[in-house]
Structure 1
């Protein structure tokens, strides 16, 4: 038999192997399924208690994790995790204090007050009529056009 390539299993795969061993599957069938050696399966079976304990106590999922290493200074890691978890809302407070909002340019716009716009629009129209010295007949037509458009 050719030697197998070194393969590191995820903790999730190791848990699957432990379950297969408990269901009575042979080492040979498991080694072919996961493409690992029989001695690796024996090592996983020997360490099944520590693997199951580690998987049950870790917050990060066992799907991607491949090692059971823990922090060198557990107290410091716990204090850091508590400190980071306690400072979650700083970004929301920063956005609120600086009035930073996420608006969709094409879909969303700020609300406008129609009653405040109307006097400004009429005042602007009258100012343009006076500056351009438009005749009264022309003024009436332009006012009707402007009012009809808006």
Structure 2
């Protein structure tokens, strides 16, 4: 009986240590995942080439997969000519409401203008999106703690 209790306690402590380690990894050390919605391949290529940080991953997020927007640390949306359904729009808005930073630029449809970053971050990020290797690099370096 005493050995069984000891095994349960040791197992519980080990599980707690592993869970804490995974949580700390996710918060402080895991790669920052940035999604780009409705961006041209050439723009994504330039942004990708400017990425010199192995802890930042860039992914094109198709509009059909907007229900996965909350899986990312940041979502940039090019609103120019963006055609999404109400369900897709709601998925993006839900991700923004849950805390995923979302920045939509050049929205031609006011319903698609979903922004969840504050005005200071919005101004900096929009300047970085203007193009150029240094701007794209700074965009990707803007930081997980500041955005998240």
Could you say whether these structures have the same fold, taking a TM-score greater than 0.5 normalized by the shorter chain as the test?
no
Instruction: Name the TM-score, length of structure 1 as normaliser.
Output: 0.23
Q: Give the structure with the larger strand fraction.
A: 2
- Structure ID, larger Rg: 1
> Greater helix percent: which structure?
1
